[in-house]
A = this chain, B = another copy of it.
């Protein structure tokens, strides 16, 4: 039983992918994650200019998940150029994550990163807590998605994944816009919400930015439904992300239609080796249930 996965031409030794924004700030952390079993890794999103992001608290755990409003802190294109050199040294594909306000912002970064060894570029049009970006800027409408995707695909030399929001009313339509724009794949989903947690003793919202996006177990049923909807709407492959912490969760995503599995908060719940753990659990489950491959079960609930 092997988990090798072909994600629009990119060969992965297994379908688990480090989601953007978790650990992905340095090449050495990416290496750590790959050694812990990830089939591919995504860097923390990069904008053209460096960004400090929101003030702390930016990331907290609550009873049923995590909340974050990091606010896209990142060292900018030039920081990324220093950081992510010689990615071919790593034993797994590395995906860039690129953000911007207007299409030109995206393409400037993508052209800048052009000589680095990224295997794909992901564009999140879906952050729920950073003014000027994602859902707060309406980037999740089918129109904006089409416009930005087209520009990015034109600028990119590698496959482009469009990362969608679970807060969008009709995620299938947005996925179709991305596909029409030339995207090679859909990443579903980014964080849910935004939500707010109030510390009642302080009588203040606890996040530095007041609100934040939810991730982890609380959002899994919604992420699974989104992947299900996207699978029914487009032909391009899907990276299913949201609340995956076990091999069974990953199987659920595959059954909904995912080709690969993004893991973010899972790192918090099960450690950096969550990737190895999930792969082993997937293998065990597949064998115990007399399947032979992930293909057999991909999208099976649509039958």
Binding site for B on A (CB under 8 A): 62-65, 67, 135, 167-169, 192-198, 200-201, 203-205, 211-212, 214, 217-222, 224-225, 228, 248, 251-252, 255-256, 285, 289, 297, 300-301
In the bound complex, residues from chain B placing their C-beta under 8 Å from that of A222 are: 192-195, 214
Residue of chain B at shortest CB distance from A296? B203
Shortest C-beta distance, A193 to chain B (Å), equals: 5
Give the chain B neighbours of A135 by CB distance below 8 A.
Answer: 169
What separation, in Å, do the CA atoms of A219 and B62 have in the docked complex?
A: 12
Extra A-B contacts (8), CB below 8 Å, given A197-B252, A198-B252, A200-B285: A67-B221, A167-B169, A196-B224, A200-B251, A203-B297, A203-B301, A214-B221, A218-B218
Nearest residue (CB) in B for A300 is B203
Enumerate chain B residues within 8 angstroms of A212, measured Cβ to Cβ: 221
User: Which chain B residue has the least Cβ–Cβ distance from A225?
Assistant: B196
Q: Which residues from B are CB-within-8-Å of A167?
A: 167, 169
Q: Which B residues touch A220, using CB under 8 A? A: 195
Shortest distance between the CB of A42 and any CB in chain B (Å): 24
Contact B221 A301 (CB under 8 A): no
Task: List, in ascending order, chain B residues with CB within 8 A of A248's CB.
Answer: 200
Question: Is the pair B62, A203 in contact by a Cβ cutoff of 8 Å?
Answer: no
Shortest beta-carbon distance from A108 to chain B in Å: 29
Q: Return the contact of A62 from the options B62, B221, B289 (Cβ within 8 A).
A: B221
A17 to chain B, nearest CB (A): 20
Q: Are A228 and B196 in contact (CB under 8 A)?
A: yes
Q: Quick check: B218 and A65 within 8 Å, CB to CB? A: yes
20 contacts between A and B (CB under 8 A): A62-B221, A65-B218, A193-B222, A193-B225, A194-B222, A196-B221, A197-B221, A197-B252, A198-B252, A198-B255, A198-B301, A200-B251, A200-B252, A203-B297, A204-B301, A205-B228, A212-B221, A214-B221, A218-B218, A218-B219
Report B-chain residues with C-beta under 8 Å of the C-beta of A196: 221, 224-225, 228, 256
Tell me the nearest residue of chain B to A243, going by C-beta: B64
B64 touches A194 (CB 8 A): no
Residues of B within 8 A of A67 (CB): 221
> A224, B195: Cβ atoms under 8 Å?
yes
Which of A64, A65, A197, A219 counts the most B-chain CB atoms under 10 A from its CB?
A64
Closest residue of chain B to A227 (Cβ to Cβ) is: B196
The 5 lowest CB-CB distance pairs between A and B, nearest first, are A195-B221, A64-B64, A196-B225, A218-B218, A195-B222
Closest to A194 in B: B225
- Whether B193 pairs with A221 at a CB distance below 8 angstroms is yes
A261 to chain B, nearest CB (A): 13
Q: CB-nearest residue of chain B relative to A291?
A: B203
CB-CB under 8 A from A201, the residues of chain B are 289
